[in-house]
Structures are given as C-alpha cells and as structure tokens.
Structure 1
C-alpha cells in the first residue's frame, strides 16, 4: 500500500483509503517565514498537525523541517497525495517524480462534476444555480425530485435583525481543552518569534478544534443546540456575542478534520428526525455544500489570474493599523469591535467580514490582492482558495460581477439595522458629511460616485444610482473621504 502524504489541511480520516494506510506528515517552518500569520492561526495549524501525528503513531512518518523539499529528501519510497488546495502546492507536487496526485477530497462535489456543470452553461456561473445542481446531484433535502418545503432557498427568512433584548439564546460552542501538544506549540512559536519569524494578533487559548474528535463534538453540539437559531439570526452582528448561533466549524472543514458531507447529512437528519426548522437547516446546508464548494470550485475553474483582478482600479495599500490589527486606534464602534475580534480570536463570522471589513476596504479603494492575503493570514480558517472568491470576487467586486450581481457596499444604515454597534458610537449612521458623519455612510456614496462609470448597470443597483444622482453634496463627500485617506476612522 502506498504511503499517503497528508498536507496540514488534509487531516481527517476521509483523506485515507484504509484506516491503517501508511502516512507522511510534514511540518514546514518556511510557511510561517514566508508571510506574517496570526499567532492563533499558526498555533491551530501546528496543533492540528501534531495531534494527527500523535494519533497515528507508528502508522505515520512525521518530519519537521525548513521546507517540504528538505523533508522529502528523507523519504525514499513512492508517495501519493490528494489534490492540494493551492495552485502553488499543486505545481510543486506535480514536479516531484515519486509523487502521484490523486483527486481532491474534503468537498461535496468533485472538480470534474463541477467542470461538467459549468461547461454546459452560458454566461455567469451563479452560486444559486450550482447549489441547486449539487442538491439534486447528491440527493440532499429532496422529496422525490422536488426540494423539501417547495423552495430551493429560504434565504429571505434568514435575515432577521437582532432580537430586542440583544441576545440570541443558545449555549456557546464547546471550547477545546489544551494539552501538552498545545503547550509545546506555544513554546515553539515563542522561540520562532525570537528567531525573527513575525506573527500578528494576540496569543490566546485555542478556541477551535485541532482533532477530529473535537470537531465532531462541536458539530454534534451545533446540530443539537444551535442549529435551530442559526438561519434566523445568520446576518446579525452583536458586540456582546461574537459566536451567536454560528457553527464555528469553518476551520475544522478547512483543516480537513470534518467531512462536509457528514455535516450536511447531520443537518438533514436534524430536520427529518428531530424537527429542526427547515429554514435554518437549509441555510446551513447552503453554506456548506453550496457556498463553500462554490468558492473552492471557482478558484480552480477560473483562470489563475483571477486572484489579481482589479477592474475597479483600487490602488491604495493596506494601512499599517489595519495590517497590525490595531483596533485601539479606531473610534468607529463597528470597525473597532470587529477588528478586535480578528486581533483577539483570529475569527469573526461571515457578515462582519463582508459588511464591515470588506465593505470598509472596498470603499477606501484598497488593493484586492493585498486584502485577500490579509484575510488569508489573519483568520484561522483562511486559505488562498477560500479568500480568492470571498474577497476578490465577492467582497471587493474586483472582477465586475463574475460571482455576484452587485458590489457589496453599504452605508451605516445597514450596520445600524443588523447590529447593536451604532448606539453610543461617535458617528451618526444617518450623516455622510461633517465631523460626526459615519465613515461607512460617507464611504458608500464616495465609492459609488468614484466608480459610477465602472460598475455595470443592473436592476439591483438602479435605485441606488438614482439616489446618487440626486445628492447635491456628493462632491463634498468625495473630498472629505479623500482627506481621510488611510487614517483609522
């Protein structure tokens, strides 16, 4: 039986053909020397890799070295590896004489099935159409040939504002208990920092699963206790509760600790056998086998240069306060709280990422490729394939709509409606001009004014562009935002 080389994001048993298959694991220090990573992201990756090596024992060869190439010199036998998750890694393994590249695992729909579906379509490849294909192809949440409940998506029912009492009444996700391996990782990261490898963000207790057992436990807890409230409050942002009813499983999927189809079937079981609300179950399924798979597949289906798309000609570099997660420099309550979450946890859920962080960067004209790398290295669940579509395609609209029908840009009114951030903030979400003008409201109109000739006309943008045309002070708003520059709001 061939020895299976597992990358650090391929750690679950579904990446092996047999339970006792020989394994190779490699820890590469150069990965962290090459880019500045969040300290907790580095900890999670190393902890997961070392825990997997400890679980496998004599079944695995575990090598630590500066690079993959140096470590591979110690292995003489032929190897096989599942399709890696980045173009750079795929190119590397394909050049190795002794390595056979197998099909990708860890996703619901195969690369071949997605390509067949995409090749047969004309025009843009929308997630909603792929999601319906995937549901039908894998027979998920179907009654015969029809979707359960008579609809493919219940997204319109998953947009409630925060509860009036400011609480989503669900138990917090179970937190892992650190062990000797975590202590060893922390000591090594301290030593690496003294040797000149730079990290950002604050160290802290490990909050995300590093083993299959921990990931499965968190999944089961979510399905039993948190899933019923997930859909309804999916878009809510609360300064008092970063977790809300989210599964907090993205890092577990992306490390390969959990098979996503296991989670999909678990959610379907919760609906059919335990009475979980259909809108919540469908919303979770759409995130896992719809959006997550869609982001993975577009990374490989679109051309390599897609990651460098910049059709809005955004030329500003990320400011230092943003790169260094200096939340204390920020006055705007929403941005300060979200950046604090990134600094202290290496994680916030998808709406603060899109509608606070991404929205702010889009308004300021920051380079999409720089922002994608920032998301990739500052978030515990960040990888190149994840952030290319989520940031370059969706959040920054840098490809002018290959994935989305409009730019995700919004003013303070949206944040005020969906969060508790605006009460007590020094900025007024209703104002776009003046000392107390909300930087999101002002930035929204300044962005539209500066890009009106670039943004394609669409029905979804027609009303907003008519409002822009009626603004008498738009030039003053643009000048105000230009003066703000890269300073923290």
Structure 2
C-alpha cells in the first residue's frame, strides 16, 4: 500500500518511477480531523484541501482507500496494521517525525520539485553553506535544466529581468487590461465539504477564520491544467512588468494563481516552466514576462523548499532581532474593518475573503507591518501558514522567518524587506484616498508605515548600521529632528489597528 498525503494529489505521486508505487499498487489517503484542531485555519483553505483530497479519491476509485479518522496514526493502524506502507517524502518536519515513528512505513524521495534534496545539499555545501543567494541558485537550476538558455548563455543575454519587472501600475487604471483568470465551478463534493465544515464548527470541534465563498482555486488535476493553460495563453504576456504592483480593485492582476495547485501536487513545476518557455519560443509571450514567471517557480519556490530542509528544523526558531510581541486580535481575526490605513485594510480584506493575495502585499504590506511592530516571527509564520490557501510549513518558514521578518539575520536575504509609505504609494493606487499621508511620520495623518519604518531602523540601528544595504538609511536617522516624537507616537499606538 502507498500512502498519499493531502498535498500529493497529482499523477506524478501515484504512478511509478523512482521510489513510487506501481500502477496497480493500492493507495491510501487519510483525512485526519486532528489537523484542523491544531490550528485555526482559514475556512477557504480547509475547504480547498478537503475538496482536492475528496476529488482525487473519487478519481482513483477502488484503487484508493479513503479513511476519515481522528489522526493519521489511528487510521494507519486500522487500515494497514503492520503491513508495509510506502510514502513519498512529506513536506514538513512534523510529518517526517510521524513517519519515523511508524516502523512499517518506508519513505521514498520527494516529488513535485525540480532538484533532488541531495543535489541541493551538495551545491550548498560547495558554497560554504552560509551565504546561499537565490540568484546563484537560480542560475544553477537554469543551466542544469536547460531553462531559457541559448547554449551556455541565458536567453536574451540576461539572467533576470527584475529591473524591467518592477513597474508601478498604469496611471489612472483601476485594473490591468488582461483576460480574467480561470475560475473553477463547484460541484457536489464541494457541497459535501461545506456541509461537513459547517457541522464541525457547530459542534465546536474546530474553529476557522476568514470566509468560505465560492471555491476560487483548482481542486483537481483537470482544473489545475485548465488554469495553467489559460494563464499561459492569455495572461503570461502581461505578467512581468507589473508583477510587483498593487491595485485596490484588482488583487489578481496578471498573476498566475497557480501556487495552491503546485503546493497541492496537482501541477508539477516542470510543466509550468516548460510551458512558459514554449510560449516565448513560439513568439507568444515576451521574454521578460516569461523569465519572471520561471524565476518565481524554478528560482524562488524551489529555493524556499530546499532551504527549509537544508537549514534544519531549528531555523524556524531564529529570532536575531529578538522580536517577541504578540499578534493583536484584529490581525488574528482578519478584522479588516477595524483598519483605517487603506493599504492594510485592502490587503487584510483580500486575505479574509479569499485566503490569497500576491507576493508584494504579503511582503511589503502584511510582512512589513509585522516586522516594524516587532511581532514574534514564529507567530507571524504560523499566521501566514494558517491564513493562506497556498500556505504550508515548508513555504512559510523560509519566506517569513528568512525574507519577511529577517529573523535569521541575513542567512537568506541581504536586508530586511520593509519600507515607509513612499514605496506603497509608488507601487500602488492605495495611498491617495487614505486618511494617512505617506510622507508624514508624525501627527494625526502620519502613515503607520513611514513612522514604523523609522522606529524599526532606530531600534536596530546597531545591527543594520553594519549592513551595506541598510547603513545609509540608518545614517539618515541622525538628520530626523522629530525622531523622539515618532517614537512616542508609535509607542502610544501599541496594538491598536492603524
């Protein structure tokens, strides 16, 4: 019997290959209620995961045994007993510990990623294991998988088009002029899932956060393939230039919305990046947009997965900045209506309503606010894990601990990713109607991001003053004559919603 976890739902997990099951090997999938008791997950995320698992069970029919139980261990003992069970490498340290405690289970290689973990470890060790920069890794993957290459050189003579792909949104436009993304249709399985979640909440068995509207993300391989096809044909071409921009009325813009499908195992990363490259080679998408998309998957997603395992489980406890403040209730409850700052209100409402927002609101609105207020990075990591449909332990530990909260002191990135309101104003249409002014750091109209940015630099000026990427703004602190007032007003704000 071969055990499929709930994020191993594509055919590349159930059919043959190195360490995989034979085509006729019986399959097992376990829906464990205890998973939903451990965290207060977003309701839309719980719906998506259960819908995807139950859809896959229906597709596999008699080959798969689908068990609903309180825990994985209980279900495995009831179904397999002492008989041997195989499983592909899971995606969290907690799951690894569970498998190691089950003597009848044999764990095979991971699937759903481009680079074997041993290959990455060898590459990282060769770089000293300390300064592992994503750009170096990305070029290595491009060469090794012959992605966007022309012989030994990168296509177009450049490894990345970051500079071209950082344009603000078009002036005067509330939305990007691009075809709408693929959206699935719910069916009777979704009805069943929603009924079960309602019952669990009513019984007081579990508690969720956020809203469960119509399912927005694929729950089947066919839906995920349709979403990929539509993105490549109709949205990829406009993806690159504005991938870092934000529009209040257009949270999706040209983003692919494929992260949840990749992280559920419904899509394999190779088919995504190879499909994008094919669009460029056929003259149907510009190189800058294609490279930006390829970098997100073959560069960043792959890099995050590998660092999660390479850095070890203790990495999640990194807290170089010694941030220990708790998350306020309005944040934990996704209470966007309590927030007046338009950028934070808009993004928090997107998370509340859909369990998703793209990478710049995550980093420069949500993550930046948490970093400036000195919130406990472990709590921030858990929040992102619970509240996003594509959030998993391996995704959020490096992304939040390393990049967003700079809790590792620079093992993953070269600087903290935070800014004042000027950045949000430049890259979005969120600031003009706001009650706060991005240029003000004191007074009733002081932007919470501008004030928060300078107090963050002030608190950590000794550490950040020795970083070549932050030393200049740290020196500017000496020129801010009202810094003491900024400190007082930020202290007075406390945990109140801005």
Q: TM-score range by the shorter chain?
A: over 0.9
Tell me what 2:216 maps to: 207
Tell me what 2:176 maps to: 168
Tell me what 2:158 maps to: 151
The more displaced of 72-81 and 261-270 is: 72-81
Tell me what 1:303 maps to: 312
Tell me what 2:395 maps to: 386
TM-score by length of 1: 0.98
How far apart are residue 91 of structure 1 and its match?
1.1
How far apart are residue 373 of structure 1 and its match?
0.2
Between the aligned partners of 2:464 and 2:55, the Cα distance in structure 1 is 48
Q: Is the 8 A contact 1:376 1:382 kept in 2?
A: yes
- Structure 2 residue 496 is the aligned partner of structure 1 residue 479: no
- Structure 2 residue 426 is the aligned partner of structure 1 residue 417: yes
Tell me what 2:186 maps to: 178
Between the aligned partners of 1:107 and 1:330, the Cα distance in structure 2 is 39
Tell me what 1:68 maps to: 72
- Any idea what SS the aligned residue of 1:236 has? coil
How far apart are residue 263 of structure 1 and its match?
0.2
Instruction: Map Cα deviations across residues 443-486 of structure 1 (whole Å, 9 max, x no partner).
Output: 00011001112336232213212222211111211111111111
Between the aligned partners of 1:21 and 1:479, the Cα distance in structure 2 is 65
Tell me what 2:4 maps to: 6
Tell me what 1:48 maps to: 52
Q: Is the 8 A contact 2:465 2:471 kept in 1?
A: no
- Any idea what SS the aligned residue of 2:458 has? helix
Tell me what 2:408 maps to: 399
Between the aligned partners of 1:165 and 1:475, the Cα distance in structure 2 is 38
Q: 1:109 aligns with which of 94, 112, 115?
A: 115
The more displaced of 266-275 and 178-187 is: 266-275
Q: Is the 8 A contact 1:393 1:401 kept in 2?
A: yes
Between the aligned partners of 2:305 and 2:198, the Cα distance in structure 1 is 33
Between the aligned partners of 1:10 and 1:368, the Cα distance in structure 2 is 28
Instruction: Map Cα deviations across residues 92-148 of structure 1 (whole Å, 9 max, x no partner).
Output: 112211111001001111101100100101341011110011111111111111111
Tell me what 2:104 maps to: 98
- Any idea what SS the aligned residue of 1:97 has? coil
Instruction: Map Cα deviations across residues 204-234 of structure 1 (whole Å, 9 max, x no partner).
Output: 1000000000001000100010001111110
Tell me what 2:92 maps to: 86
Between the aligned partners of 1:73 and 1:469, the Cα distance in structure 2 is 65
Q: Is the 8 A contact 1:267 1:281 kept in 2?
A: yes
Instruction: Map Cα deviations across residues 392-440 of structure 1 (whole Å, 9 max, x no partner).
Output: 1000000110011110010000000000100110000000000100000
Between the aligned partners of 2:43 and 2:269, the Cα distance in structure 1 is 26
**Cα RMSD over matched residues?**
1.0
| Structure 2 residue runs without a partner (length 5+) | 17-21
4+ residue runs over 4 A deviation = none
